[in-house]
Structure 1
Amino acid sequence: MKWSDFSKLIKFRLTFLVVFSASISFLIGSKVNGLIEWRSWGMLIAGGFLVTGAANIFNEIIEKDLDKLMKRTMDRPIPSGKMTTGQALVIGLFMAIFGTSLLFKLNFTAGYLSVFSIALYAFVYTPLKRVSPIAVFVGAIPGALPPLIGYVAAHPQIDKIALVLFGIQFIWQFPHFWAIAWVLDDDYKLAGFRLLATGKRDKWSAIIALIFTLILLPVSLLPTYMGFGGYVIGGVSLILSLVFIYQAFNLVKTLEIKSAKQLMYGSFFYLPLVQLILLFDFIGKK
């Protein structure tokens, strides 16, 4: 199997971003303990990569016939015939078992959260995508678990810091995913996916996305408000959130795919920047 096919099978870019998010949170959790265990960090990265890749493989197995209908997914290994469902299942099971075992070795909380994440993403969120836009809410839960898993892998206690890390990524996902759904709505409809807030590109879908960018503003300021983040992360979060709100407002005003793309690209920059600055600010305060 070629690397390009394996990369598409596990959705490498998405998997990388998930692992990045978890690894940043692990370092934050490690600083709470006062010591970074680099071997454990490596286990988290490996386990997180395997678990996320496995969840994506199970998602593609379930949606193999639907992926054939969409331009952006028809060249994936299973729908294109480069790999059988059985082959993908074996790879996915191996990655899931090995990945969760690594996370269980770190601690029980990280392990069971990883199992819960796979189950919710692959077997609840995936089939819901054709049923109702509520799928986005369901999918946002496993989508926000990586920073929580990363944090508890280093500091096995779900405290206020863990909940804030989860909350920021949870709320961020709504405008992020709805922007993607707006851009790809025509393709999604070919597979019967109903992912925009109202099920279509209209004013209310855009307004709801805007509302969640407004909610994200105070949530992103919680690290500073609660005292474990400083004024640097507060200032960066404020600026990035205002830019995010402006982009969402522009979508409400224009209802154009171009505006949705700007919101989508803005979301790509928002989360990793906030997480990185929070890490550096947190280390500086400690």
Structure 2
Amino acid sequence: MNWSDFSKLIKLRLTFLVVFSASISFLIGSRANGHIDWVNWVKLIVGGFLVTSAANAFNEIIEKDLDKLMKRTMDRPIPSGKMNTGQALVLGLGMGMAGTYLLGGLNLLTGLLSVFSILLYAFAYTPLKRKSPIAVFVGAIPGALPPLIGYVAAHERIDEIALILFAIQFVWQFPHFWAIAWVLDDDYKLAGFRLLPTGNRNLGSAVITFIFTLILLPVSLLPYFYHHGGYWLAGVSLICSLIFLYQAFGLLRTRQIEAARKLMFGSFMYLPIVQLMFLFDFIGNAK
């Protein structure tokens, strides 16, 4: 097994985004405490990387036969035969235990949330993907846990700011994931995945995607409404949300794959910008 195979097993780009989200939230939680423990920040990054990698490895073990059917996944190490299930399981268990140990060492709640995230992603969301579009709602919970875990790792309790960080990422995931599902629907259906809201690229799926993008606009302003951010955060969040909403309207109007692709790339930009702005604005207000 080489680095390329390992990176595909752990879904490196997805894992990086998850760890980035948690690390930003850790810094927000640290500012709420009044100090930053950089050693714990590194532990969070390493532990978060290992836990997320483990969840992704378990996901690929469970879906190994389905991955063979899709063009975008058939070159992953297990379906391509470059790694067997036993090797992937040992790696997944090793990373999961090491990551949980590191995160649990920060505080008990962080460790428990990390275990819950792995179990929900690998053993609830993964099998549901072939049964019902409700899988996206289930998957949005572990998908929104990284900022909550990052915040709790620093602040040791779930408070209003933690819930706001969770809410923003939770709602964001619906237009993000449905845009991806729209682009990849043909490939997903080869494996029997039903991930679009209505199961198909149609007006209903476009309308529901637009509605959730619209809901994201006021949710993104919650830090301002609850006095955890100022005008800069509110302004940037509003502009990003309006651009995102315009892209969702483009999908609603045309229902074309190209419009969904624009919404997908817009989602990649949206979340880190809003989270970084939350951090910078929160630091400014905390001084």
**TM-score w.r.t. structure 2 length?**
0.99
CA distance in 2, matches of 1:22, 1:101: 17
Match of 1:124 in 2: 124
**SS state at 1:71 partner:** coil
2:37 pairs with 1:19: no
2:241 pairs with 1:228: no
Q: CA RMSD in A?
A: 0.4
Please show how residues 1-286 of structure 1 align to structure 2 within 5 Å: 1-286=1-286
**SS state at 2:178 partner:** helix
Tell me the amino acid that sits aligned with residue 232 of structure 2.
Answer: V
Structure 1 residue ranges without an equivalent (≥5): none
Tell me the amino acid that sits aligned with residue 153 of structure 2.
Answer: A
Deviation at residue 49 of structure 1 after TM alignment? 0.1
CA distance in 1, matches of 2:136, 2:7: 24
Tell me the amino acid that sits aligned with residue 208 of structure 2.
Answer: I
Deviation at residue 79 of structure 1 after TM alignment? 0.3
CA distance in 2, matches of 1:70, 1:136: 19
Deviation string, structure 1 residues 209-241 (Cα, Å, up to 9, x no partner): 000011000000000110011111100000010
Deviation string, structure 1 residues 57-93 (Cα, Å, up to 9, x no partner): 0000000000000000000000000000000000000
CA distance in 2, matches of 1:98, 1:229: 36
**TM-score w.r.t. structure 1 length?**
1.00
Structure 2 residue ranges without an equivalent (≥5): none
Tell me the amino acid that sits aligned with residue 151 of structure 2.
Answer: Y
Deviation string, structure 1 residues 71-119 (Cα, Å, up to 9, x no partner): 0000000000000000000000000000001011000110000000000
The count of aligned residue pairs is 286
CA distance in 2, matches of 1:147, 1:174: 16
Runs (4 or more) in structure 1 with deviation over 6 Å come to none
Identity %: 76
**SS state at 1:137 partner:** helix
Deviation at residue 262 of structure 1 after TM alignment? 0.5
CA distance in 2, matches of 1:283, 1:241: 22
